[in-house]
Amino acid sequence: MEVQVDRAEEEMRRHNDSPRGQTLVETALVLPLLLILLGGGYWFYRDLSLASSAESVAHAQMLRAGRRQAGIEPRLSVAIHPGDNVARIEAHNDPLIGEIPLFRGLAGRTIASANVSLGKEPVGASLDLPSHALRVRAEGSVDCWGKETPSGSTIRRTVRGILLTGALR
Rounded mean pLDDT of the chain? 79
Residue 157's CB is within 10 A of a number of other CB atoms, namely 13
- Residue 101 binned pLDDT confidence (cut-offs 50, 70, 90): low
Q: How open is the CA angle 13-18-19, to the nearest 5 degrees?
A: 145
Q: Please tell me the least confidently modeled range out of 58-67, 127-136, 151-160.
A: 151-160
Query: Is the predicted pLDDT of residue 114 greater than 60, yes or no?
Result: yes
- Residue 85 binned pLDDT confidence (cut-offs 50, 70, 90): confident
Query: Is the predicted pLDDT of residue 26 greater than 70, yes or no?
Result: yes
Query: Is the predicted pLDDT of residue 7 greater than 70, yes or no?
Result: no
Please compute the mean of the pLDDT values over residues 114-143 and round it to a whole number.
82
Q: Report d(CA 154, CA 105) in Å as an integer.
A: 6
Comparison of pLDDT for 34 and 101, the residue scoring more? 34
Between the alpha carbon of residue 94 and those of residues 26, 59, 102, 124, 126, the distances in Å are 62, 16, 18, 47, 48
Comparison of pLDDT for 68 and 31, the residue scoring more? 31
Q: Report d(CA 137, CA 79) in Å as an integer.
A: 17
Name the residue ranges covered by the structural domains of the chain: 2-143
pTM over 0.85: no
Q: Which residue(s) pair with 122 in the sheet?
A: 128
Percent of the chain with pLDDT over 90: 11
DSSP 25-69: HHHHHHHHHHHHHHHHHHHHHHHHHHHHHHHHHHHHHHHHHHTTP
Q: CA quadruple 60, 63, 66, 72: dihedral positive or negative? A: negative
* pLDDT the model gives residue 30: 94
Query: Is the predicted pLDDT of residue 19 greater than 80, yes or no?
Result: no
Query: Is the predicted pLDDT of residue 107 greater than 70, yes or no?
Result: no
Residues 107 and 77 sit within 8 Å (Cβ to Cβ): no
Comparison of pLDDT for 73 and 155, the residue scoring more? 73
